[in-house]
Homo-oligomer: A and B are copies of this chain.
Amino acid sequence: MNKKKVSLKDIAEKAQVSTALVSYVLNGKEKESRVGHEIAVKIKQIAKELNYQPNYLAKSLRSGKTQTIGLIIADISNPFFANIARIVEDEAKKNGYTVIIGSSDETAEKSWDLITVFLNRQVDGFIIVSSENTEEQIQYLLERNVPFVLLDRHFPEIPTDFVSLNSFKAAYDAGSHLVRGGYKNIGLIAYKSQLFHMQERIRGYRFSLEDNQIPFRPEWLKEVGFNTIEEEIKVGIDDMLASGFAVDALIFATYRLAITGLKYINSLGLKVPDDLAIVSFGQAEAFDLYYCPITYVLQPMEELGKTAVEILIQKLKKPDSNKKQILMEAKLMARNSSRPKASVF
């Protein structure tokens, strides 16, 4: 990068004034700082001539504000998070902020790394999709008074701002929908995770059975590890099908679980929904394209992302405002993969 950048000083020299005046003029403070009109015009002209671009590092160092938001998600290559990232990017840009994105791979270590790196880079605040066992990280941010908003997941026992989904309700709706369609043996494949939103999905599912007088059977619930989903899903599905109470419908607690599960279901030659009805969380092109369009829980992504940014920016302006805690409602999009059983009619 030669052709050295023009600085305030360069303009000042050319205009034969001090850098202070240049700074005032270029920041629109001519009035307050009562800069002479002719000089102001001259400065503006020279700035344009030299195509002056302020150095944000210097600005930030001085002001303590970088106009940068750190976004921590599980994995940018996962469409769900990529979607969110895009929404956050756009909304942040509208407000003059730039976003740095980091993928935690659902691990607490990487999440710590990212928080540290981002803090060193002086981000003004964070939007975080929390991984398991990151409570201490959240506490750390709270203690240090770093502005942040949790997105999609939150810790009910820690008082923070957050925007997430009413997972209980969403799962409850998914289960009830299947029951109404005449399905009796309904399974759930979720992640083995203590994260609240995952536990809520499980709880919602179980409540939907309970409320419909369907006794829950342990073999209907499979919790798979993040790093072993392929194998565990296979075993899990085999198990669910082999059981004395073989499932006739299956709920997937996330998009990735569904994709992996469906591949296996395809390979088994099972027909959806006749052999097995399907409902999944998260939307995706793959669901539309499937031979039998997949019923899914539509999360209000746009709203989730936008609101998170809004709350954060609000917080950056007024650090001591009240905590905003928002649970948004999902909407069940019924498609063919969970159509009512023929026998019902």
Q: Which residues of A contact B (CB under 8 A)?
A: 1-3, 53-58, 60-61, 66, 75-79, 82-83, 85-86, 89-90, 98-103, 116-117, 119-122, 143-147, 259, 262-263, 266, 284-286, 288-291
Residues of B within 8 A of A75 (CB): 86
Residues of B within 8 A of A119 (CB): 53
Residues of B within 8 A of A146 (CB): 1
Which 6 pairs across A and B sit closest by C-beta, in order of nearness? Answer: A291-B291, A82-B82, A77-B86, A286-B286, A57-B61, A2-B145
**9 A-B pairs (CB sep. < 8 Å):** A1-B144, A2-B144, A3-B144, A57-B66, A78-B82, A79-B79, A89-B102, A266-B291, A285-B286
Residues of B within 8 A of A103 (CB): 86, 89-90
Residues of B within 8 A of A120 (CB): 53-56
Contacts A120-B53, A291-B291; A77 near B66 (Cβ below 8 A)? no
Residues of B within 8 A of A57 (CB): 57, 60-61, 66, 121-122
What's the Cα separation between A291 and B188 when bound, in Å?
A: 23
> Do B55 and A58 touch across chains, with their CB atoms under 8 A apart?
no
CB A145 to nearest CB in B, in angstroms, measures 5
Q: Taking CB as reference atom, which chain B residue is nearest A256? A: B285
Residues of B within 8 A of A288 (CB): 263
CB A52 to nearest CB in B, in angstroms, measures 11
What's the Cα separation between A57 and B120 when bound, in Å?
A: 8
> Do B116 and A89 touch across chains, with their CB atoms under 8 A apart?
no
Q: Taking CB as reference atom, which chain B residue is nearest A291? A: B291
